């Protein structure tokens, strides 16, 4: 699961995604069932800027109860 400012994006089976965004500030949230969620709260893009973002999620081994 990947969301940009609360909008879900489609990923491939490896979790890769591509998004074309206007200049501005963004919050990226990534996660998967059974893994800790990762939040990038302050991503600022300028006009013409390209960003490659790699997010590694870690397995959540806490008990379910």
pLDDT, tens digit, 9 for 90 and up, residues 29-62: 998 888 899 999 999 999 999 999 888 888 998 8
pLDDT at 61: 86
Do 25 and 44 touch, CB atoms closer than 8 A? yes
Q: Is 4 helix (H, G, I), strand (E, B) or coil?
A: strand
Question: Dihedral of CA 55/58/63/64: which sign?
Answer: positive
Q: How many Å apart are CA 33 and CA 36, to the nearest integer? A: 8
Beta bridge partners of 40: 28
């Amino acid at each position: 699961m990947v969301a940009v400012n609360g909008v879900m994006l489609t990923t491939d089976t490896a979790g890769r995604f591509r998004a074309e965004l206007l200049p501005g500030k963004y919050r990226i949230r990534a996660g998967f069932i059974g893994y800790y969620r990762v939040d990038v709260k302050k991503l600022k893009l300028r006009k013409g800027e390209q960003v490659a973002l790699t997010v590694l999620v870690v397995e959540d081994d806490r008990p379910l109860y």
